Structure 1
Amino acid sequence: MSVVETPAPVERAAPADEVDQQRPVHWGAVLRLPYAARLLAATLVGRLPLGMMPVALLIAARADGRGYGIGAMLASLYGLSVAVGQPLLGRLVDRRGHALTLLGGSIVSTAALLVLAAAGTADLLTAATAVVVAGASAPPLEGFLRALWPAISPTERHLRAALALDSGSQELVYVVGPLTAAALASVAAPGFVFAVAAALAMAGALVVTASAPSRRWRPVPARRGALGALRSGGLRWMLLVLIAIGASLGALSVAALAASERHAAEWLAGVLPAGVSVGALLGTAAWTALPLPVPLSRQLVLTAAAFVFAWVPLCLDPPPYAALGLAVLPGMAFGALLTCAYQVVAELALPGTVVEAYGWLIAAFGLGQALGTAAAGPLAGSWVLPAAAAALGLLLAAPVCKRLALRTAAAPFRRPSPERLS
């Protein structure tokens, strides 16, 4: 009797395209996409004045005999003007197109900076007016780039990596900017710093506007209203989350200063925020590399919860070197959370309001930082405040997740409409 052997089942390998869909996309792959590196670099150059101006105004006020108090007031005025101008200019981009808004804003902002370079801070009224105009008219390059990423990114994984790279690279603006301003002021008059900032702002806006993806971009025809992007209830809740997250980081500088005094380590006041920035860069890179087959709403809860718990070890008031190492943890969680927030804003923004929505993101975060810094003073820089603000952000994320689940939980990546890429 012969025995017929049946061949053992052979495991079939997953199709190549299926395996490829499971691989994370790293930053290098994003930078190799057409126009990606050029647009990101131009946006960072155009936004470098945002990091240069606070230090430049402090140095200029000191050189003019005004003192640091006037310099700090002008720096705060500039930050407030940027926060107000970004969503308003973003609305103009969404409604009238980007070329006139970006170029017009850069021309006005450049002119104001040149006036500041010539007049200095000797005439306080002239200086304050120039600062307000320069900040309010700063072109919304950051929001516009995020509106372009879907047009450049071929897949959802590329978009997620692009947003992570975008959020991580923004840290360079506030690291390189102050260093550039200080270096220039050490070899030239303070007015020269404002002139360089003007040139950088104009150069960045010109390169972004002249790029092929920018020339093809068109506003989406949509129903308009006085509230603009704020007509989205989910977006309004998300802005509250960002205010709470911003308050957590705004309280950080005061908490770091208080910790440096408690432990008699003056270096801690400046190094702790730097540790958080380094952590943010690491966090965005790690978040990009993680394959996350979960809905965007769960990603938001996960990153917000991680941000809360990352502050807990610092609440125990560790010694200086331990605190420096632990400061990386909230930074890493923040990097992942901010990347997720960019995707949430894109998902919740109503058609024709994407650039404005990102402008409100910037404004909400800036407002939160100001509120957190102000609240940290009366509380003597307690580490509890950053943790409490982060916990508030986690609670406020619940309504956002509900709206995300209702809208879409399976396809957070939305292809650009034909009207936007004509």
Structure 2
Amino acid sequence: MHHPVPTTSSRPLIHHTGFWYFPVAFVARLPFAMMTVGVLALVVSVRGSVALGGLTSAAVGIGVVIAGPVLGDLADRFGQSRVLVPTGLANGILLALFPLVVDSPAADGLVLASAVAIGLTGPQTAAMSRSRVMALIGDRIAPDRRERTFSRAMAYESAADETAFVIGPFVVGVLAAIVAPWAPIAAAAALSFVFVTAFALHPTGRVVPVASERGAMAPARELLRPRMLMLVVAVFGVGAFFGSTLTSLTAFMEERGAPEAGALLYGVMGVGSAVLALAVAVLPARFSLRWRLAIFAILLFASAGAYSVGGSVVTVTVVLCLMGIGVGPSLVTLFSLAGYRAPAGRTATTMTVLASALTLAQALSSAVTGAVAERASVETAMLFPAGAALIVLAMGAANLVHARRWDAAGPSSIG
């Protein structure tokens, strides 16, 4: 599959992807970002139970996590479009049927089962996009420009994820308020049909070599090495941070009589976080990945500690801005490390495992934080983001100690 490097290798990445690739890949992420929140909002409004809503949202997350690595492995073996077209269509159909299930007299168990099915068919657009961009950079970009292009591309991909994570819930809130609680799910279904299919069939999908066109794939056990597991645990911490922050913030604002303002304030953190994720691209190469992770994790933990104290809406808003500065760059750095450490022929699998860890943590932490806010207190729930940040910090510290040894053994020795 590796063609001789074309003479156009001095051209920028967008020349190789085509102009429409990035907008399509961005919109194709939205159904995924809207699913968990949309399901939660719909179940709470129709069935009138926050607990069932949290469980349903977690059920979507569990489906995503079970299917993610499997879909990644299939994409690595047979090519992305063969995997993404059927899953995107199935996901659109299941989303379209979900409001009917929730509205019917069906038992809660059936609602949960359909939520799991929605998760199982969740299109892993973000992971597939990273894997395509990495293949394009390796295949078409001049070697002396690869590292710089790679760090910019990973910064963009993470910022796109973050923006989707923020816009998704925001769109859900707006549609549910203006149209009806089923509207966000219907919109996600439509986006899944159109944009996931467009992304699946985009010519860039053919750049990633499939199993038959390249050497041996590294065995799956390579993903269980400490250098990979540490990244999975850290990304899990970031997901738990997102979920517990959104849920505790909603509870905090509900106490003040404006629960819908929670999503808007979360947007403040998300926007700051996405802007800083992009800013990572301009950090000097001397500021190595292992130090980046350690420093941004410290910042994340410190700001989450300040958040747990709560106080007024103004102080919480200021602290959310600081939390954004920590979380965006931490996530970019984790995905960049994963890009360097991915075992041979396993980039889609690696990226889907990380994306799954992020989603699972988000779903679980939302459910747990919601239950704690309801049964114990909002103050207790506001401690959870600091706990999640501590996981990221611990992994950052472990990586700081071992990264040199881990990366010397790996496919590339980038400190």
Quote the Cα distance in structure 2 between the aligned partners of 1:59 and 1:249: 17
| 1:6-65 deviation per Cα after TM superposition (whole angstroms, max 9, x unaligned) | xxxxxxxxxxxxxxxxxxxxxxx9784432653332223222222333454355446755
Task: Tell me if structure 2 keeps the 8 A contact 1:229–1:350.
Answer: yes
Greater alpha carbon shift after TM alignment, 394-403 vs 128-137: 394-403
What letter is aligned with 1:52? M
1:176 aligns with 2:170: no
1:293 aligns with 2:293: no
Aligned length: 386
Corresponding residue SS for 1:150:
helix
Match of 2:327 among 327, 334, 339: 334
What letter is aligned with 2:58? S
Q: Which runs of 5+ in 2 are unaligned?
A: 1-10
- Per the TM alignment, residue 106 of structure 1 is displaced from its structure 2 partner at its CA by 1.5
Corresponding residue SS for 2:152:
helix
Quote the Cα distance in structure 1 between the aligned partners of 2:182 and 2:252: 36
Quote the Cα distance in structure 1 between the aligned partners of 2:343 and 2:174: 43
| 1:195-228 deviation per Cα after TM superposition (whole angstroms, max 9, x unaligned) | 4423311322322232222123213543564x55
Quote the Cα distance in structure 1 between the aligned partners of 2:99 and 2:89: 15
In structure 2, the residue matched to 1:89 is 71
Match of 2:277 among 284, 294, 302: 284
Quote the Cα distance in structure 2 between the aligned partners of 1:239 and 1:40: 26
Greater alpha carbon shift after TM alignment, 114-123 vs 159-168: 114-123
| Aligned pairs (5 A) from 1:331-410 | 331-373=324-366, 374=368, 377=372, 378=376, 380-382=378-380, 383-408=382-407
The structure with more helix, counted as a fraction of residues: 2
In structure 1, the residue matched to 2:235 is 242
Task: Tell me if structure 2 keeps the 8 A contact 1:94–1:354.
Answer: yes
1:307 aligns with 2:308: no
Quote the Cα distance in structure 1 between the aligned partners of 2:125 and 2:412: 22
Q: Which runs of 5+ in 1 are unaligned?
A: 1-28, 416-422
In structure 2, the residue matched to 1:129 is 113
1:251 aligns with 2:244: yes
In structure 2, the residue matched to 1:222 is 216
Quote the Cα distance in structure 2 between the aligned partners of 1:127 and 1:257: 24
- Per the TM alignment, residue 340 of structure 1 is displaced from its structure 2 partner at its CA by 0.5
In structure 2, the residue matched to 1:9 is none
Whichever of the two has the greater Rg, that structure is 1
- Per the TM alignment, residue 309 of structure 1 is displaced from its structure 2 partner at its CA by 2.8
Quote the Cα distance in structure 1 between the aligned partners of 2:217 and 2:259: 54
Quote the Cα distance in structure 1 between the aligned partners of 2:135 and 2:317: 40
Task: Tell me if structure 1 keeps the 8 A contact 2:238–2:331.
Answer: no
Task: Tell me if structure 1 keeps the 8 A contact 2:170–2:267.
Answer: no
Cα 1:327/1:68, change in 2 over 3 Å: closer
In structure 2, the residue matched to 1:112 is 94
- Per the TM alignment, residue 286 of structure 1 is displaced from its structure 2 partner at its CA by 2.4
Match of 1:148 among 132, 144, 147: 132
Task: Tell me if structure 2 keeps the 8 A contact 1:57–1:72.
Answer: no
In structure 2, the residue matched to 1:102 is 84
Match of 1:160 among 111, 126, 151: 151
In structure 1, the residue matched to 2:22 is 40
| 1:145-177 deviation per Cα after TM superposition (whole angstroms, max 9, x unaligned) | 111122344322222112112111223323333
In structure 1, the residue matched to 2:31 is 49
Task: Tell me if structure 2 keeps the 8 A contact 1:171–1:277.
Answer: yes
Corresponding residue SS for 2:29:
helix
